[in-house]
């Protein structure tokens, strides 16, 4: 057995570990540093969570009832303040994030609902 084949598994494992660390670090990095410290990843915001769930429900219901694809028609999309609390920040920012994720959820829910009539 040559030295290369003896150490090959360890080299591959080390390379995989470095690649995984780099990928994981990119999840937590939003592209800039503040005071030499990377910001903490907090996951989706409350507006994103609520908007996505509401969108899935509205899209699924529209598809099941044979309605056309139209997330803007949904009352909750238009108001964009479902479960808003001032602790979440400005109402405008909440609405922007809510609507963006509502559309994502609506698309997914509509696709799911089309196949489950």
Taking only the tens place, the pLDDT of each residue in 43-88 is 678 999 999 999 999 999 999 999 999 999 999 999 999 999 999 8
pLDDT tens digit sequence for 19-46:
544 444 444 444 444 555 555 545 678 9
Q: What's the chain's length in residues?
A: 117
The answer to which of 25-29, 41-45, 90-94, 103-107 has the lowest mean pLDDT is: 25-29
| 63: number of Cβ within 10 Å | 21
Query: With a threshold of 0.85, does the pTM exceed it?
Result: no
Per-residue model confidence (pLDDT) at position 115: 78
């Amino acid at each position: 057995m040559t030295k290369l084949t003896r150490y090959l598994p360890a080299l591959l494992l080390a390379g995989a570990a470095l690649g995984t660390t780099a990928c994981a670090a990119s999840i937590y990095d939003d592209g800039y540093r503040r005071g030499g410290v990377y910001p903490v990843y907090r996951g989706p915001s409350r507006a994103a969570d609520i908007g996505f769930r509401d969108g899935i429900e509205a899209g699924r219901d529209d598809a099941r009832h044979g309605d056309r694809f139209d997330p803007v028609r949904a009352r909750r999309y238009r108001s964009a303040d479902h479960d808003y609390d001032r602790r979440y920040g400005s109402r405008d920012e909440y609405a922007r994030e809510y609507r963006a994720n509502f559309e994502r959820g609506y698309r997914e829910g509509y696709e799911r609902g089309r196949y489950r009539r």
